[in-house]
Amino acid sequence: MADGWRLEGEAPIYARALVGLTGAVSGLADAGSHSVLFLDIETVETSNAAPLIYFDRTFRSLGPAAPR
């Protein structure tokens, strides 16, 4: 498997992903130029890493919410 990937059963999982899901495929639907995969989730793995947000043509980090 390529660098940064590992197998969980038959499912490839990217090691630096914030969330990894494995399960059985229960459906597939065409959505224009994309496909939507429906999965009966069996396992969930999460990371403590901070997510990145793409906004206004750049990547940004999430920070604390501004006081109201």
**Which of 25, 22, 24 has the alpha carbon at shortest distance from 35?**
25
| Number of helical H runs and strand E runs in the chain | 0, 6
Amino acid at 23: G
**Which pLDDT score is estimated for 30?**
96
Residue-wise pLDDT for 5-45, tens only, equals 888 777 788 888 889 888 889 999 999 999 999 999 998 98
Of the candidates 50, 47, 24, 26, which has an alpha carbon nearest to the alpha carbon of residue 36?
Answer: 26
Q: How far apart are CA 37 and CA 47, in angstroms?
A: 23
Tell me the pTM.
Answer: 0.57
pLDDT at 50 over 70: yes
What's the number of CA atoms in the CB half-sphere (13 Å) around residue 2? 3
